[in-house]
Amino acid sequence: MNRTKVAVIGSGNIGTDLMIKVLRTAEHLEMGALVGIDPDSDGLARARRLGVPTTHEGVDGLIAMPGFADIGIVFDATSAKAHVHNAARLRPYGKRLVDLTPAALGPYVVPAVNLEQHLDADDVNMVTCGGQATIPVVAAIGGVVPVEYAEIVASIASRSAGPGTRANIDEFTETTSAAIVEVGGARRGKAIIVLNPAEPPLIMRDTVLALVRAPGPDTADEIRRAVAAMVASVAEYVPGYRLKQEVQVAPVPADQPLETLLAPGADRPTHQVSVFLEVEGAAHYLPAYAGNLDIMTSAALRVGDRMAARDAARGTAAGNDRGTARQHLEAAP
């Protein structure tokens, strides 16, 4: 079976974990390069031991690599600011980009919700770890009843929040809040991230609170069934993803103020849906408590695999106009 060659930009925790997932579990992908900027990084050293081509000269080093023309998909596991630069440099070469940063240059993609709609996109955005964990649940609730407001809280181990995560806290909240609306279907959304300093580190926990109108007596059971089905769907590519306890559907007290949460003219919700999740990592490279990073790499792998499978079925090279790539390479000084 022909596999699509991929490059991973970013030799830190996320990029290295993604590389190992591609090597161990990908169905349609083959590692073509791991790209970093620190020649002494553990990720690049590990890649070399595994026989993966490497460069420590960033995206320009990737473009200069002998096998660059054969790369079909590029995963970017750097930072929001760096992705803007990387995307601009790669655009002339016809590469398809899967963005694991909160840059949000392309459409938001959450595999269990809307992957099929964006398989042909040039640059897809994987939202955030909190978005990958919670937006499927918001979408599941919204498939039963309209969601007037959804709020998510992602609690992750402080140890699993590296420099990139900490530098992108604002982008995390902004991108996740926007995707709760755009992908999850809520009328309004809010995202909060908590860095938990507990020792030993705790695995990722996520809470979804949704305000809905649930008029019928059977609606609560329909919501629970929809959430359970969605959790099972996500767990197909993130095995450590699970419900922590039964979904709660409770009436909203008549005197509870909601005006600041709702869009102008929205009907007053009748019920609050509370969903409690946890995400345990697969420990391919990262520790098991780093479920926040594992869900990002697992979701990105699912996107890349599906893109490659789709293009293979069409008989095309995934995300790569080889003629365009070679033309630009030959013209380069």
129 is an active site residue: yes
pLDDT tens figures, 90-125: 999 999 999 999 899 999 999 999 999 999 999 999
Cα angle at 202 between 141 and 98, to 5 degrees? 60
Residue 78: partners with Cβ closer than 8 Å, 6 or more residues away: 9, 10, 15, 86, 101, 164
At 323, which helix (H) or strand (E)?
helix 322-331
Give the pLDDT of residue 102. 87
Residue-wise pLDDT for 122-178, tens only, equals 999 999 999 999 999 999 999 999 999 999 999 999 999 877 788 888 889 999 999
pLDDT on residue 1: 67
pLDDT, tens digit, 9 for 90 and up, residues 192-201: 999 999 999 9
Distance CA 93, CA 71 (A): 10
Which two three-digit tokens encode residue 321? 């106009």
Strands 271-279 and 248-251: antiparallel
**46 within 8 A of 69, measured Cβ to Cβ:** no
Please list, residue by residue across 171-195, b when 16 or more beta carbons sit within 10 angstroms of its beta carbon and e when fewer do: bbbbbbbbbbbbbbbbbbbbbebee
Q: Who contacts 226 (Cβ-Cβ below 8 Å, separation ≥6)?
A: 140, 141, 143, 144
Q: Residue 3: which region, alpha, beta or left (left: phi > 0; alpha: psi -120 to 50)? A: beta
Q: How far apart are CA 70 and CA 7, in angstroms?
A: 10
| Residues 180 and 198 sit within 8 Å (Cβ to Cβ) | no
Phi and psi for 276 in degrees, rounded to 5?
-120, 125
What residues contact 197, with CB distance under 8 A and at least 6 apart?
158
Question: With 50 as the cut, is the pLDDT of residue 324 above it?
Answer: no
pLDDT at 325 over 50: no
Res 321: pLDDT: 47
Residue 333 clears pLDDT 50, i.e. is over it: no
Find the catalytic residue in 20, 22, 113, 129: 129
Model confidence pLDDT, tens digit, residues 67-89: 999 999 999 999 989 999 999 99
pLDDT digits (tens, 9 = 90+) for 223-247: 999 999 999 999 999 999 999 999 9
Of 85, 29, 80, 125, which Cα lies nearest the Cα of 18? 29
Q: What is the model's pLDDT at position 221?
A: 95
Give the pLDDT of residue 332: 45
Domain architecture of the chain: domains with CATH: 4-126+291-331 (3.40.50.720), 129-279 (3.30.360.10)
**Global pTM?**
0.92
Residues with Cβ within 8 Å of 20's Cβ and at least 6 positions away in sequence, in order, are 284, 285
Residue-level pLDDT at 323: 43
Looking at the chain, the whole-number percentage of residues with pLDDT higher than 70 is 94
